[in-house]
Amino acid sequence: MSAQLKMKIAFKLFASLTDYLPADRKGNRLELEVDEGTTVADLIRRYNVPEKSAHLVLVNGVFIPPSERIRHRLQAGDELAIWPPIAGG
């Protein structure tokens, strides 16, 4: 088995989802080294974010629909940001 290649990405959880980040977090952002090919859904699962709470999912500011999270592979340097259901105005 060949060694899995790694890449760096940023993982951000906002509003009430912040609680799913490790306790020693600083702010809302974690820098992670993940396996190449890691999908959005992989990280949502890894941090135990309930699926229905991962409401607004952006990669580099672009919306990822729920149906694409399982196949959207992250690229090195990507910024993944997730919010629960929210609104403003």
Partner 1 sequence: MGWNRKVLRVDLTAGTCKEEPLNMQWAQDYLGSRGLATKYLVSEIDPKVDPLSADNKMIMATGPLTGTMASTGGRYTVVTKGPLTGAIACSNSGGFFGAEMKFAGWDMIIFEGKSPKPVYLFVENDKAELRDAGHLWGKSCWDTEETIKHELQDPLVRVSSIGVAGENQVLFACVVNDLHRAAGRSGVGAVMGSKNLKAVALRGTKGVSGIKDFRAFMKATTDAKKVLADNAVTGQGLPTYGTQVLMNVINEMGALPTRNHRDVQFEDAGKISAEAMAEKRPSDGKSQLVTNAACFGCTIACGRISEIDKGHFTVKNSPKYWGASGGLEYEAAWALGAANGVGDLEALQYANMICNEQGMDPISFGATVGAVMELYDMGVITKDILGIEAPFGSAEALAKMVEMTAMGEGFGKEIGQGSKRLCTKFGHPELSMSVKGQEFPAYDSRGIQGMGLTYATSNRGACHLRSYTVASEVLGIPVKTDPLTTEGKPELVKAFQDATAVFDSAGICVFTSFAWTLADVQPQLDAACEGEWTMDKLNEVGERIWNMERMFNNAAGFTAKDDNLPPRLTTEPAKVGPAKGLVNGLATMLPEYYRIRGWTPEGEPTTETTARLGL
Closest CA to 23 of 41, 47, 42: 47
- Establish if 56 lies at the interface with partner 1 (CB under 8 A): yes
> For residue 51, which of 12, 8, 18, 84 has the smallest C-alpha distance?
84
* Residue window 22-41: x/- pattern of binding to partner 1, with contact defined by CB under 8 A: -----xx-------------
Amino acid at 74: L
**Cβ atoms < 10 Å from Cβ of 64:** 18
Whole-angstrom distance, CA of residue 22 vs CA of residue 74: 21
Q: Which stretch binds partner 1 (CB under 8 A): 30-38, 39-47, 68-76, 80-88?
A: 80-88
3-state SS assignment for residue 86: coil
- Min CB(48)–partner 1 separation in Å: 18
Shortest distance (Å) from residue 27 CB to partner 1: 6
Q: Which residues bind partner 1 (CB under 8 A)?
A: 12, 14-16, 18, 27-28, 52, 55-56, 58, 60-63, 65, 79, 81, 83-89
